[in-house]
Protein backbone atom coordinates (compact mmCIF):
# COMPACT_ATOMS: atom_id res chain seq x y z
CA UNK A 1 0.00 0.00 0.00
CA UNK A 2 1.43 3.43 -0.92
CA UNK A 3 1.91 6.16 1.63
CA UNK A 4 0.06 9.44 1.63
CA UNK A 5 0.73 13.09 2.33
CA UNK A 6 -1.75 15.91 2.78
CA UNK A 7 -2.04 19.64 3.47
CA UNK A 8 -3.18 20.06 7.06
CA UNK A 9 -4.72 23.07 8.79
CA UNK A 10 -2.75 23.65 12.00
CA UNK A 11 -4.49 26.78 13.28
CA UNK A 12 -5.07 30.35 12.09
CA UNK A 13 -2.52 31.33 9.47
CA UNK A 14 -0.74 27.97 9.45
CA UNK A 15 -0.84 24.98 7.12
CA UNK A 16 1.70 22.17 6.91
CA UNK A 17 2.25 19.10 4.75
CA UNK A 18 2.14 15.92 6.84
CA UNK A 19 2.15 12.18 6.35
CA UNK A 20 -1.49 11.09 6.47
CA UNK A 21 -3.39 7.84 6.33
CA UNK A 22 -3.91 6.17 2.98
CA UNK A 23 -7.65 6.12 2.27
CA UNK A 24 -9.79 3.10 3.07
CA UNK A 25 -13.33 2.25 2.00
CA UNK A 26 -14.59 3.29 5.41
CA UNK A 27 -14.77 6.66 7.15
CA UNK A 28 -12.47 6.79 10.16
CA UNK A 29 -12.59 9.13 13.13
CA UNK A 30 -10.50 12.26 12.81
CA UNK A 31 -10.53 16.07 12.90
CA UNK A 32 -13.89 17.38 11.73
CA UNK A 33 -15.43 13.96 11.09
CA UNK A 34 -19.06 13.91 12.17
CA UNK A 35 -19.48 11.16 14.79
CA UNK A 36 -22.46 9.82 12.86
CA UNK A 37 -20.19 9.26 9.86
CA UNK A 38 -17.49 7.32 11.74
CA UNK A 39 -17.45 3.72 10.55
CA UNK A 40 -19.52 4.47 7.48
CA UNK A 41 -18.81 1.90 4.77
CA UNK A 42 -17.91 3.30 1.35
CA UNK A 43 -18.11 0.19 -0.84
CA UNK A 44 -19.41 2.45 -3.62
CA UNK A 45 -16.27 4.66 -3.53
CA UNK A 46 -13.03 5.04 -5.42
CA UNK A 47 -9.56 5.97 -4.26
CA UNK A 48 -8.12 8.70 -6.47
CA UNK A 49 -4.44 9.30 -7.16
CA UNK A 50 -4.42 13.08 -7.25
CA UNK A 51 -3.07 14.65 -10.44
CA UNK A 52 -4.09 18.24 -9.65
CA UNK A 53 -5.66 19.75 -6.54
CA UNK A 54 -6.23 23.47 -6.23
CA UNK A 55 -5.99 26.01 -3.42
CA UNK A 56 -9.38 27.75 -3.15
CA UNK A 57 -10.45 31.05 -1.63
CA UNK A 58 -12.92 29.06 0.46
CA UNK A 59 -9.96 27.21 1.98
CA UNK A 60 -8.47 30.59 2.87
CA UNK A 61 -11.47 31.49 5.02
CA UNK A 62 -10.63 28.49 7.20
CA UNK A 63 -6.91 29.13 7.23
CA UNK A 64 -7.47 32.74 8.29
CA UNK A 65 -9.39 31.45 11.30
CA UNK A 66 -12.71 32.75 10.08
CA UNK A 67 -14.54 29.45 10.64
CA UNK A 68 -14.70 26.77 13.33
CA UNK A 69 -12.43 24.42 11.36
CA UNK A 70 -10.58 22.07 13.76
CA UNK A 71 -6.82 21.79 13.90
CA UNK A 72 -5.62 18.75 11.97
CA UNK A 73 -8.18 19.00 9.16
CA UNK A 74 -6.82 17.82 5.79
CA UNK A 75 -7.81 20.53 3.33
CA UNK A 76 -8.83 20.52 -0.30
CA UNK A 77 -12.02 20.14 -2.34
CA UNK A 78 -10.84 20.83 -5.92
CA UNK A 79 -9.63 17.43 -7.12
CA UNK A 80 -8.65 15.97 -10.48
CA UNK A 81 -7.02 12.57 -10.63
CA UNK A 82 -6.59 9.01 -11.76
CA UNK A 83 -8.63 6.15 -10.32
CA UNK A 84 -6.26 3.97 -8.28
CA UNK A 85 -8.78 1.58 -6.66
CA UNK A 86 -12.52 0.99 -6.75
CA UNK A 87 -14.81 -0.43 -4.08
CA UNK A 88 -16.69 -3.69 -4.57
CA UNK A 89 -19.97 -1.92 -5.40
CA UNK A 90 -18.52 0.25 -8.17
CA UNK A 91 -19.80 -0.89 -11.55
CA UNK A 92 -18.77 1.57 -14.28
CA UNK A 93 -15.74 3.53 -13.04
CA UNK A 94 -12.48 1.76 -13.93
CA UNK A 95 -8.98 1.80 -12.48
CA UNK A 96 -6.89 4.12 -14.64
CA UNK A 97 -9.73 6.49 -15.55
CA UNK A 98 -8.75 10.17 -15.48
CA UNK A 99 -11.54 12.02 -13.71
CA UNK A 100 -12.81 15.31 -12.36
CA UNK A 101 -14.25 15.23 -8.84
CA UNK A 102 -17.09 17.71 -8.16
CA UNK A 103 -16.41 19.48 -4.89
CA UNK A 104 -20.01 18.74 -3.85
CA UNK A 105 -20.27 15.27 -2.33
CA UNK A 106 -23.62 13.80 -3.30
CA UNK A 107 -25.30 10.41 -3.19
CA UNK A 108 -27.39 10.48 -6.39
CA UNK A 109 -30.26 8.87 -4.50
CA UNK A 110 -31.97 11.55 -2.39
CA UNK A 111 -34.70 13.92 -3.54
CA UNK A 112 -32.31 16.86 -3.98
CA UNK A 113 -29.80 14.88 -6.03
CA UNK A 114 -32.58 13.57 -8.27
CA UNK A 115 -33.69 17.18 -8.81
CA UNK A 116 -30.15 18.20 -9.78
CA UNK A 117 -29.46 20.00 -6.50
CA UNK A 118 -26.24 18.16 -5.75
CA UNK A 119 -24.91 20.97 -3.57
CA UNK A 120 -27.48 20.10 -0.91
CA UNK A 121 -27.45 16.29 -0.89
CA UNK A 122 -29.41 14.98 2.09
CA UNK A 123 -27.39 11.82 2.75
CA UNK A 124 -23.70 12.71 3.07
CA UNK A 125 -23.62 15.18 5.97
CA UNK A 126 -25.53 14.27 9.14
CA UNK A 127 -25.69 17.90 10.30
CA UNK A 128 -27.43 19.49 7.33
CA UNK A 129 -27.78 19.12 3.55
CA UNK A 130 -24.61 19.72 1.59
CA UNK A 131 -21.07 18.42 1.85
CA UNK A 132 -17.56 18.91 0.48
CA UNK A 133 -14.11 17.39 0.89
CA UNK A 134 -11.82 18.83 3.54
CA UNK A 135 -14.22 21.50 4.72
CA UNK A 136 -15.55 22.58 8.10
CA UNK A 137 -19.00 21.29 9.12
CA UNK A 138 -19.35 19.30 5.90
CA UNK A 139 -19.48 15.81 7.37
CA UNK A 140 -15.77 15.19 7.75
CA UNK A 141 -14.89 13.73 4.35
CA UNK A 142 -11.09 13.92 4.13
CA UNK A 143 -9.70 16.64 1.87
CA UNK A 144 -8.02 16.17 -1.47
CA UNK A 145 -4.92 18.38 -1.17
CA UNK A 146 -3.16 15.06 -0.82
CA UNK A 147 -1.53 12.32 -2.82
CA UNK A 148 -4.61 10.08 -2.52
CA UNK A 149 -8.23 10.75 -1.57
CA UNK A 150 -11.42 8.72 -1.17
CA UNK A 151 -14.43 9.70 -3.30
CA UNK A 152 -17.80 8.13 -2.35
CA UNK A 153 -20.52 7.14 -4.82
CA UNK A 154 -17.89 7.00 -7.55
CA UNK A 155 -20.16 5.99 -10.44
CA UNK A 156 -22.36 8.99 -9.67
CA UNK A 157 -19.84 11.65 -8.67
CA UNK A 158 -16.92 11.19 -11.04
CA UNK A 159 -16.74 12.81 -14.47
CA UNK A 160 -14.48 10.64 -16.63
CA UNK A 161 -12.54 12.37 -19.39
CA UNK A 162 -13.19 10.56 -22.69
CA UNK A 163 -9.58 10.58 -23.95
CA UNK A 164 -6.85 10.41 -21.31
CA UNK A 165 -3.99 11.64 -23.50
CA UNK A 166 -6.02 14.53 -24.87
CA UNK A 167 -7.16 15.41 -21.36
CA UNK A 168 -3.58 15.54 -20.05
CA UNK A 169 -2.77 18.07 -22.77
CA UNK A 170 -5.40 20.37 -21.22
CA UNK A 171 -5.12 19.22 -17.63
CA UNK A 172 -4.73 22.69 -16.09
CA UNK A 173 -7.97 23.79 -17.78
CA UNK A 174 -9.77 20.60 -16.81
CA UNK A 175 -8.58 20.98 -13.20
CA UNK A 176 -10.88 24.01 -12.96
CA UNK A 177 -13.96 21.78 -13.48
CA UNK A 178 -13.95 20.59 -9.87
CA UNK A 179 -15.13 23.95 -8.58
CA UNK A 180 -14.32 27.42 -9.82
CA UNK A 181 -15.31 27.13 -13.49
CA UNK A 182 -18.76 25.64 -12.78
CA UNK A 183 -19.11 27.97 -9.79
CA UNK A 184 -18.38 31.06 -11.85
CA UNK A 185 -20.61 29.76 -14.64
CA UNK A 186 -23.41 29.07 -12.15
CA UNK A 187 -23.11 32.62 -10.84
CA UNK A 188 -23.59 33.95 -14.37
CA UNK A 189 -26.43 31.57 -15.27
CA UNK A 190 -28.37 32.41 -12.12
CA UNK A 191 -27.77 36.12 -12.75
CA UNK A 192 -29.34 35.73 -16.19
CA UNK A 193 -26.27 36.39 -18.33
CA UNK A 194 -26.97 35.85 -22.01
CA UNK A 195 -26.15 37.20 -25.47
CA UNK A 196 -25.70 40.96 -25.35
CA UNK A 197 -25.79 41.24 -21.55
CA UNK A 198 -23.89 43.82 -19.59
CA UNK A 199 -22.42 42.17 -16.49
CA UNK A 200 -20.76 43.39 -13.30
CA UNK A 201 -18.70 40.84 -11.37
CA UNK A 202 -17.55 41.75 -7.87
CA UNK A 203 -14.21 40.14 -7.15
CA UNK A 204 -11.22 39.39 -9.40
CA UNK A 205 -10.03 36.32 -7.52
CA UNK A 206 -10.16 32.96 -9.29
CA UNK A 207 -13.96 32.56 -8.99
CA UNK A 208 -14.54 36.09 -10.22
CA UNK A 209 -12.20 35.55 -13.17
CA UNK A 210 -13.90 32.23 -13.92
CA UNK A 211 -17.25 34.02 -13.82
CA UNK A 212 -15.91 36.63 -16.25
CA UNK A 213 -14.73 33.93 -18.67
CA UNK A 214 -18.12 32.26 -18.27
CA UNK A 215 -19.95 35.49 -19.05
CA UNK A 216 -18.10 35.75 -22.36
CA UNK A 217 -18.87 32.08 -23.08
CA UNK A 218 -22.56 32.87 -22.49
CA UNK A 219 -22.44 35.77 -24.95
CA UNK A 220 -22.13 38.86 -22.76
CA UNK A 221 -21.45 42.11 -24.58
CA UNK A 222 -19.58 43.83 -21.75
CA UNK A 223 -18.02 42.24 -18.65
CA UNK A 224 -16.90 44.59 -15.87
CA UNK A 225 -14.87 43.15 -13.00
CA UNK A 226 -14.49 45.09 -9.75
CA UNK A 227 -11.79 44.61 -7.12
CA UNK A 228 -9.37 46.42 -4.81
CA UNK A 229 -6.33 44.49 -6.10
CA UNK A 230 -4.63 46.08 -9.09
CA UNK A 231 -2.73 42.92 -10.08
CA UNK A 232 -5.95 40.91 -10.18
CA UNK A 233 -7.69 43.65 -12.17
CA UNK A 234 -4.85 43.51 -14.70
CA UNK A 235 -5.42 39.75 -14.99
CA UNK A 236 -9.10 40.44 -15.78
CA UNK A 237 -8.14 42.92 -18.49
CA UNK A 238 -5.80 40.33 -20.03
CA UNK A 239 -8.76 38.48 -21.56
CA UNK A 240 -11.03 41.36 -22.49
CA UNK A 241 -12.76 42.51 -19.31
CA UNK A 242 -13.39 46.10 -18.36
CA UNK A 243 -12.36 46.79 -14.78
CA UNK A 244 -13.43 48.87 -11.79
CA UNK A 245 -10.92 49.69 -9.06
CA UNK A 246 -13.39 50.06 -6.20
CA UNK A 247 -10.70 51.52 -3.95
CA UNK A 248 -11.19 54.64 -6.08
CA UNK A 249 -14.98 54.85 -5.90
CA UNK A 250 -18.30 53.07 -5.90
CA UNK A 251 -19.07 50.41 -8.54
CA UNK A 252 -21.88 52.48 -10.07
CA UNK A 253 -19.42 55.30 -10.83
CA UNK A 254 -17.14 52.96 -12.80
CA UNK A 255 -20.11 51.34 -14.53
CA UNK A 256 -21.42 54.74 -15.64
CA UNK A 257 -17.98 55.67 -16.98
CA UNK A 258 -17.84 52.46 -19.03
CA UNK A 259 -21.46 52.08 -20.16
CA UNK A 260 -22.83 55.61 -19.94
CA UNK A 261 -25.43 54.45 -17.42
CA UNK A 262 -24.90 53.40 -13.76
CA UNK A 263 -26.59 49.99 -14.09
CA UNK A 264 -25.97 46.59 -15.61
CA UNK A 265 -28.27 43.78 -16.68
CA UNK A 266 -26.71 41.14 -14.44
CA UNK A 267 -24.44 41.00 -11.39
CA UNK A 268 -22.35 38.31 -9.70
CA UNK A 269 -20.93 38.31 -6.15
CA UNK A 270 -17.62 36.42 -6.21
CA UNK A 271 -16.37 37.96 -2.95
CA UNK A 272 -18.47 36.65 -0.07
CA UNK A 273 -18.49 37.46 3.61
CA UNK A 274 -14.97 38.90 3.97
CA UNK A 275 -15.89 41.87 1.76
CA UNK A 276 -14.28 45.25 2.28
CA UNK A 277 -15.73 48.68 1.71
CA UNK A 278 -15.31 50.87 -1.35
CA UNK A 279 -13.45 54.15 -1.76
CA UNK A 280 -12.32 55.59 1.57
CA UNK A 281 -13.51 52.46 3.40
CA UNK A 282 -11.51 50.05 1.26
CA UNK A 283 -9.29 49.11 4.19
CA UNK A 284 -12.22 48.24 6.46
CA UNK A 285 -14.23 45.04 6.44
CA UNK A 286 -17.91 45.53 5.64
CA UNK A 287 -19.41 42.08 4.96
CA UNK A 288 -22.63 43.36 3.33
CA UNK A 289 -20.89 45.84 1.00
CA UNK A 290 -20.91 43.70 -2.11
CA UNK A 291 -24.49 42.50 -1.78
CA UNK A 292 -25.77 46.03 -1.25
CA UNK A 293 -23.69 47.42 -4.11
CA UNK A 294 -24.95 44.72 -6.48
CA UNK A 295 -28.55 45.55 -5.61
CA UNK A 296 -27.77 49.17 -6.38
CA UNK A 297 -26.19 48.56 -9.79
CA UNK A 298 -28.48 45.83 -11.13
CA UNK A 299 -31.37 47.02 -13.26
CA UNK A 300 -34.91 46.59 -11.97
CA UNK A 301 -36.15 43.08 -12.68
CA UNK A 302 -32.63 41.73 -12.87
CA UNK A 303 -30.91 39.01 -10.85
CA UNK A 304 -27.92 38.51 -8.60
CA UNK A 305 -25.85 35.33 -8.78
CA UNK A 306 -24.14 34.85 -5.41
CA UNK A 307 -21.51 32.08 -5.57
CA UNK A 308 -19.38 33.99 -3.03
CA UNK A 309 -19.32 32.19 0.31
CA UNK A 310 -21.45 33.36 3.24
CA UNK A 311 -21.29 31.48 6.54
CA UNK A 312 -23.61 30.78 9.46
CA UNK A 313 -20.79 31.48 11.91
CA UNK A 314 -17.78 33.79 11.61
CA UNK A 315 -15.69 33.91 14.80
CA UNK A 316 -13.43 36.57 13.28
CA UNK A 317 -16.19 39.07 12.50
CA UNK A 318 -16.01 42.50 14.11
CA UNK A 319 -19.74 42.70 14.83
CA UNK A 320 -21.75 40.28 16.93
CA UNK A 321 -24.48 39.98 14.26
CA UNK A 322 -21.92 39.07 11.60
CA UNK A 323 -20.50 36.39 13.91
CA UNK A 324 -23.89 34.69 13.60
CA UNK A 325 -24.04 35.20 9.84
CA UNK A 326 -26.44 38.17 10.05
CA UNK A 327 -25.63 41.09 7.73
CA UNK A 328 -27.14 44.55 7.22
CA UNK A 329 -28.55 43.86 3.78
CA UNK A 330 -30.78 46.44 2.05
CA UNK A 331 -33.50 43.93 1.33
CA UNK A 332 -35.98 46.77 0.84
CA UNK A 333 -33.98 47.98 -2.15
CA UNK A 334 -33.91 44.49 -3.61
CA UNK A 335 -37.66 44.15 -3.08
CA UNK A 336 -38.40 47.54 -4.62
CA UNK A 337 -36.42 46.62 -7.75
CA UNK A 338 -37.95 43.10 -7.98
CA UNK A 339 -34.51 41.55 -7.95
CA UNK A 340 -33.94 37.80 -7.82
CA UNK A 341 -31.20 36.21 -5.69
CA UNK A 342 -29.51 32.83 -6.14
CA UNK A 343 -27.24 31.60 -3.35
CA UNK A 344 -25.52 28.46 -2.12
CA UNK A 345 -23.07 25.89 -3.43
CA UNK A 346 -22.91 25.51 -7.17
CA UNK A 347 -24.35 22.13 -8.23
CA UNK A 348 -21.22 21.24 -10.17
CA UNK A 349 -22.69 18.24 -11.98
CA UNK A 350 -25.26 20.50 -13.65
CA UNK A 351 -22.48 22.09 -15.71
CA UNK A 352 -19.20 20.16 -15.61
CA UNK A 353 -19.73 17.92 -18.63
CA UNK A 354 -20.72 20.82 -20.89
CA UNK A 355 -17.80 22.91 -19.69
CA UNK A 356 -15.46 19.95 -20.23
CA UNK A 357 -16.57 19.88 -23.86
CA UNK A 358 -16.02 23.63 -24.17
CA UNK A 359 -12.46 23.14 -22.91
CA UNK A 360 -11.69 20.11 -25.08
CA UNK A 361 -12.97 21.87 -28.20
CA UNK A 362 -11.10 25.12 -27.52
CA UNK A 363 -14.12 27.31 -26.81
CA UNK A 364 -12.55 28.67 -23.62
CA UNK A 365 -9.09 28.94 -22.03
CA UNK A 366 -10.04 28.94 -18.38
CA UNK A 367 -6.55 28.14 -17.00
CA UNK A 368 -5.15 31.17 -18.80
CA UNK A 369 -8.00 33.37 -17.58
CA UNK A 370 -7.36 32.50 -13.91
CA UNK A 371 -3.57 32.29 -14.33
CA UNK A 372 -3.35 28.66 -13.17
CA UNK A 373 0.08 28.08 -11.64
CA UNK A 374 1.30 24.55 -10.75
CA UNK A 375 3.43 24.09 -7.62
CA UNK A 376 4.62 20.93 -5.82
CA UNK A 377 2.60 19.67 -2.88
CA UNK A 378 5.37 20.54 -0.42
CA UNK A 379 5.12 24.20 -1.47
CA UNK A 380 1.46 24.40 -0.41
CA UNK A 381 2.21 26.57 2.67
CA UNK A 382 3.95 29.13 0.45
CA UNK A 383 1.06 28.97 -2.02
CA UNK A 384 -1.42 29.72 0.75
CA UNK A 385 0.70 32.67 1.91
CA UNK A 386 1.03 34.15 -1.57
CA UNK A 387 -2.66 33.66 -2.33
CA UNK A 388 -3.60 35.31 0.95
CA UNK A 389 -1.46 38.31 -0.01
CA UNK A 390 -3.53 38.72 -3.18
CA UNK A 391 -1.45 36.98 -5.84
CA UNK A 392 -3.26 37.05 -9.17
CA UNK A 393 -2.87 33.29 -9.56
CA UNK A 394 -4.78 30.08 -9.12
CA UNK A 395 -2.34 27.76 -7.38
CA UNK A 396 -2.60 24.13 -8.50
CA UNK A 397 -0.85 21.54 -6.34
CA UNK A 398 0.99 18.75 -8.17
CA UNK A 399 1.39 15.87 -5.69
CA UNK A 400 2.92 13.37 -8.11
CA UNK A 401 4.82 15.63 -10.51
CA UNK A 402 2.42 14.84 -13.35
CA UNK A 403 1.50 18.38 -14.44
CA UNK A 404 4.90 19.01 -15.99
CA UNK A 405 4.04 16.28 -18.50
CA UNK A 406 1.01 18.22 -19.71
CA UNK A 407 1.19 19.81 -23.10
E strand map for 190-307: 198-202, 222-227, 242-245, 264-269, 298-305
CATH number at 136 reads: 3.90.180.10
pLDDT (0 to 100) of residue 404: 76
Do 164 and 196 belong to one domain? no
pLDDT (0 to 100) of residue 293: 96
Do 47 and 133 belong to one domain? yes
Residue 321 neighbours by CB distance under 10 Å: 11
Are the C-beta atoms of residues 299 and 255 closer than 8 Å to each other?
A: no
Residue 75's domain comprises: 5-179+347-405
Do 329 and 385 belong to one domain? no
Residue 141: DSSP 8-state = P
* Sheet with 340-342: strands ordered across: 242-245, 222-227, 198-202, 264-269, 298-305, 340-342
pLDDT (0 to 100) of residue 259: 98
Determine the Cα–Cα distance for residues 110 and 211; give it in Å rounded to an integer.
Answer: 29
The per-type count for the chain, helices as H runs and strands as E runs, is 15, 15
Residue 121's beta-bridge partner residues?
none
Do 133 and 257 belong to one domain? no
Domain end, chosen from 310, 342, 374, is at 342
E strand map for 210-287: 222-227, 242-245, 264-269
pLDDT (0 to 100) of residue 315: 80
Domain end, chosen from 303, 318, 342, is at 342
Do 223 and 285 belong to one domain? yes
CATH number at 269 reads: 3.40.50.720
Do 149 and 38 belong to one domain? yes
- Say how many domains are in the chain: 2
Domain end, chosen from 313, 342, 371, is at 342
pLDDT (0 to 100) of residue 1: 67
Do 323 and 371 belong to one domain? no
E strand map for 286-351: 298-305, 340-342
Do 120 and 201 belong to one domain? no
Do 70 and 89 belong to one domain? yes
Do 92 and 187 belong to one domain? no
Are the C-beta atoms of residues 214 and 199 closer than 8 Å to each other?
A: no
pLDDT (0 to 100) of residue 48: 98
Do 163 and 37 belong to one domain? yes
216 closest CA partner among 227, 226, 205, 201: 201
Buried b vs exposed e over 270-295: b needs ≥16 C-beta within 10 Å?
Answer: bbbbbbbbbeeebeebbbbbbbbbbb
In degrees and rounded to multiples of 5, residue 191 shows phi and psi of -85, -5
Write down the pTM of the prediction: 0.95
- Listed as ranges, residues in the chain with pLDDT below 50 are 406-407
Residue 280: DSSP 8-state = G
Do 318 and 355 belong to one domain? no
Per residue in 229-274, pLDDT (tens digit) is 999 999 999 999 999 999 999 999 999 999 999 999 999 999 988 8
Amino acid sequence: MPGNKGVVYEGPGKVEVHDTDYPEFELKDGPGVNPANVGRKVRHGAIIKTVATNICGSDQHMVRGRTTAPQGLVLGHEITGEVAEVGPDVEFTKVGDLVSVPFNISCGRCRNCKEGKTGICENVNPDRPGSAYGYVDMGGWVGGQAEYVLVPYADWNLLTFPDKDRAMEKILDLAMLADIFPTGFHGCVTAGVGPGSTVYIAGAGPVGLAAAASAFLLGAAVVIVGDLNKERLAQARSFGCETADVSEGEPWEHIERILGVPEVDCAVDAVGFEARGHGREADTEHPATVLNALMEVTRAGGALGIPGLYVTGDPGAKEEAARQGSLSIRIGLGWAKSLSFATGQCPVMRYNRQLMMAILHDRVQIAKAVNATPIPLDQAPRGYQDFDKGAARKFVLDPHGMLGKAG
